[in-house]
């Protein structure tokens, strides 16, 4: 008997300390953690106590004897991680958690956190966890509602993943927490407004800018970024009113990360299934009229380097009425299961095997997700709107420690009515703060933002995607935020933080902002409208309606 971690694993590692025998790995202090697709339970170590089930924020863990049939492949996926003998060689106890000392002071430590996604709320949770210190945390959010990509990124049919929100939202009820939503740094206030009113500012504002391909036709009507499409189906106010042309049977998604898989699943799921989610009503109506029957997902490298995870491929394979196909020569010819990739734990062999099995089962009378590998887009073609994509065939070659794609000279064209560029995201510069334009992040060391000379700028920190770049699942941001908060508290203890120079409250500058009570009013209205429609919530998609529900009058 063992317990098994399944698809919705958010990697926040809450389960790790709960396990009395330390059999959940990789732990945040192990090297594999940063790149792990998910966490795994060692079947030989598990004592079946169920402690992990109680703490898992996304209900991802089952005893193997209760594992639903559709999640059965996760048993092998969990045990595969421990096949290498060194992965069994773990210490049975965890090092004690280091809690920095916060010196007693008449004036409480005041911290502004910019962004209310996972990184911002994990940072707030860590700061407010030192109960005796009386720390005050103001979380500033540009949208009228908190949650970041948990609300506006995670796919609507991943409701189980969205339950992580219950845990994140609990932080908003802690003494010392304040939400100032509908306030944008760079629009309503600037960094100096924060730096002069708080001991420290933590930037946790994510990475929401699109990446460009730089190929002809990229901006043609019918060519969209994943950010637009995901924002649209999730009811983000900036995208909710967009219209997409689903009149052609085929959509091509460029890039093969988990976002590409989300998009394929949402576009091809049955409308009845989507109706039971919190997908935006406008998106649901447009998808109901959709003629799309095939989504082609194109990756420039081979299967071994594919960015989507095996867990998400298994999830896609469970969608009713959907076949998954790939070109067998692309699965086997790439030869890229090289030792470069295999030197760290990878589920690439399982992914490859699964794609072979799924392709063998695919039937042409169902909707289809076609995975293409080893092809780079070189042009989006069409006269006045998208009619296809030209792809150049690649072979994999090693460059130092990296496996990169090199064109072979072969070119093919895939006809389609819409192209989605799902290439990952980028951070944006913040005012005059230093910015690493190559990685599109704030330059940091252990969460401290660095000046152009490489020294920490006193009182300025970063966490989450704006610190690490746009990769990692929700829980990855927890360890990241904890590292940042520890640096901040160490600096405070070492008297490196300047007390606020300007008296008065930030609210004097930005009032009215949506506070926690305002958010609860929005949340409650969305849930009650949703309940009447048999849905978890019906999202409000305009800023005006959200502010009205929060009883806030729009700032001009």
| Closer residue to ligand NAP, CB minimum distance, 117 or 434 | 117
Distance from C-alpha of 378 to C-alpha of 58, rounded to nearest angstrom: 40
The answer to whether residue 472 forms part of the interface with ligand NAP (CB under 6 A) is yes
- Residue with the shortest CB distance to ligand NAP: 257
Per the DSSP assignment, residues forming a β-bridge with 460 are: 201
Q: How far apart are CA 182 and CA 511, in angstroms?
A: 10
Interface residue list for ligand FAD (CB under 6 A): 10, 114-120, 140-143, 148-149, 153-154, 158, 161, 184-186, 204-206, 208, 230, 259, 262, 464-465, 472-474, 476-477
Q: Does 424 bind ligand NAP (CB under 6 A)?
A: yes
Strand partners for 181? 141, 514
Closer CB to ligand NAP, 307 or 340, in the complex: 307
Q: Is the peptide bond before 17 cis (omega within 30 degrees of 0)?
A: no
Q: What angle do CA 76, 270, 266 make, to 5 degrees?
A: 65
Contacted entry of ligand NAP, ligand FAD, none for residue 119, CB cut-off 5 to 8 Å set by kind: ligand FAD
63 binds, among ligand FAD, ligand NAP, none (CB under 5 to 8 A by kind): none
Q: How far is the CB of 299 from ligand NAP (least distance, A)?
A: 5
Cβ closest to ligand FAD, residue 136 vs residue 265: 265
Least distance from ligand FAD to the Cβ atom of residue 37, Å: 11
| Strand-pair category, 61-63 with 3-5 | antiparallel
Alpha carbon of residue 500 to chain centroid: 34
3-state SS, residue 16: helix
Residue 256 phi/psi, 5-degree rounding, is -125, 40
Partner from ligand NAP, ligand FAD, none contacting 257, C-beta within 5 to 8 A by type: ligand NAP
Provide DSSP, 385-429.
S--EEEEEEEEEEEETTEEEEEEEEEEEEEE-SEEEE---EE---
| CA angle in degrees (0–180, nearest 5) for 42-46-49 | 145
Contact pattern for ligand NAP over residues 257 through 296, marking x by CB under 6 A:
xxxx-x----------------------------------
Whose CA is closest to 515, among 189, 204, 181?
Answer: 181
Sequence-distant (≥ 6) Cβ neighbours of residue 423 within 8 angstroms: 210, 211, 213, 226, 254, 255
Distance of closest approach, residue 442 Cβ to ligand FAD, in angstroms:
11
Q: Which is nearer to ligand FAD, 57 or 382 (CB)?
A: 57
Exactly one of 189, 195, 213, 274 binds ligand NAP (CB under 6 A); that residue is 213
Examine residue 469 and tell whether it contacts ligand NAP (CB under 6 A): no
**Can you read off the two tokens belonging to residue 349?**
């062999």
Residue 510 three-state SS = helix
For residues 148 and 164, the answer to whether their CB atoms sit within 8 Å is no
Instruction: Give the shortest CB-266-to-ligand FAD separation in angstroms.
Output: 10
Q: Establish if 299 lies at the interface with ligand NAP (CB under 6 A).
A: yes
307 is a contact residue toward ligand NAP (CB under 6 A) = yes
What tokens appear for 104 in the block? 């007693």
> Does residue number 256 form part of the binding site for ligand NAP (CB under 6 A)?
yes
Token digits for 371? 């995975």
128 makes contact, choosing from ligand NAP, ligand FAD, none, with CB < 5 to 8 Å by partner type, with: none
Per-residue contact flags (x/-) with ligand NAP for residues 360 to 399, judged by CB under 6 A:
----------------x-----------------------
At its nearest, how many Å lie between ligand FAD and the CB of residue 132?
Answer: 27
- 335 CB-near residues (< 8 Å, 6+ apart): 302, 396
Q: Taking the complex as a whole, how short is the minimal distance between the CB of residue 472 and ligand FAD, in angstroms?
A: 5
Report what 185 binds from ligand NAP, ligand FAD, none; CB cut-off 5-8 Å by kind.
Answer: ligand FAD
Separation between Cα atoms, residue 372 and residue 254, nearest integer Å = 10
- The item of ligand NAP, ligand FAD, none sharing an interface with residue 484, based on CB under 5 to 8 Å by kind, is none
Interacting residue ranges for ligand NAP, rule: CB under 6 A? 211, 213, 254-260, 262, 299-301, 305, 307, 312, 376, 422-425, 470-473
């Amino acid at each position: 008997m063992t317990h098994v971690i399944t698809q919705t694993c958010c990697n926040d590692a809450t389960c790790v300390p709960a396990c009395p025998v330390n059999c959940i790995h990789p732990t945040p202090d192990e090297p594999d953690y940063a790149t792990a697709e998910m966490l795994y339970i060692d079947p030989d170590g598990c004592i079946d106590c169920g402690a992990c089930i109680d703490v898992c924020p996304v209900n991802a863990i089952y005893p193997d004897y209760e594992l639903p049939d559709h999640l059965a492949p996760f048993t092998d996926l969990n045990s595969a991680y421990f096949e290498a003998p060194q992965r069994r060689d773990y210490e049975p106890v965890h090092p004690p958690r280091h809690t920095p000392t916060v010196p007693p002071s008449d004036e409480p430590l005041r911290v502004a956190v910019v962004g209310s996604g996972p990184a911002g709320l994990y940072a707030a949770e860590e700061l407010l966890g030192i109960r005796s210190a009386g720390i005050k945390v103001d979380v500033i959010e540009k949208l009228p509602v908190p949650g970041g990509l948990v609300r506006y990124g995670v796919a609507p049919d991943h409701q189980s993943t969205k339950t992580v929100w219950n845990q994140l939202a609990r932080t908003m009820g802690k003494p010392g927490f304040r939400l100032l939503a509908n306030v944008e740094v760079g629009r309503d206030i600037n960094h100096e407004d924060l730096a002069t009113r708080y001991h420290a500012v933590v930037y946790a504002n994510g990475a929401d800018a699109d990446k460009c391909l730089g190929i002809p036709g990229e901006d043609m009507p019918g060519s969209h970024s994943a950010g637009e499409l995901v924002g649209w189906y999730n009811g983000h106010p900036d995208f909710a009113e967009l219209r997409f042309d689903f009149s052609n049977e085929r959509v091509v998604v460029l890039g093969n990360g988990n976002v590409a898989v989300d998009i394929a699943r949402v576009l091809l799921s049955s409308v009845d299934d989507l109706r039971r989610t919190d997908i935006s009503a406008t998106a649901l109506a447009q998808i109901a009229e959709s003629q799309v029957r095939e989504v082609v997902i194109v990756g420039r490298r081979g299967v071994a380097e594919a960015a989507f995870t095996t867990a998400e491929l298994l999830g896609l394979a469970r969608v009713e009425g959907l076949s998954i196909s790939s070109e067998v020569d692309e699965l086997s010819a790439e030869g890229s299961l090289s030792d470069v990739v295999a030197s760290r734990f990878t589920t690439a062999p399982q992914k490859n095997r699964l794609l072979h099995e799924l392709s063998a089962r695919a039937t042409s009378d169902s909707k289809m997700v076609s995975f293409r590998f080893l092809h780079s887009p070189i042009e989006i073609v069409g006269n006045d709107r998208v009619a296809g994509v030209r792809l150049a065939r690649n072979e994999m070659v090693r460059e130092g420690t990296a496996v990169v794609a090199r064109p072979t000279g072969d070119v093919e064209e895939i006809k389609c009515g819409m192209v989605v560029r799902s290439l990952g995201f980028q951070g944006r510069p913040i005012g005059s703060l230093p910015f690493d334009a190559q990685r599109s992040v704030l330059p940091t060391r252990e969460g401290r933002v660095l000046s152009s000379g490489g020294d920490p700028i006193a009182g300025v920190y970063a966490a989450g995607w704006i610190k690490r770049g746009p990769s990692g699942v929700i829980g990855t941001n927890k360890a990241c935020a904890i590292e940042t908060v520890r640096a901040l508290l160490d600096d405070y203890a070492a008297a490196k933080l300047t007390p606020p120079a300007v008296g008065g409250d930030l609210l004097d500058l930005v009032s009215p902002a949506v506070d926690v009570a305002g958010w609860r009013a929005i949340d409650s209205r969305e849930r009650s409208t949703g309940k009447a429609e048999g849905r978890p919530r019906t999202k409000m998609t305009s800023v005006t309606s959200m502010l009205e529900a929060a009883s806030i009058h729009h700032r001009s």
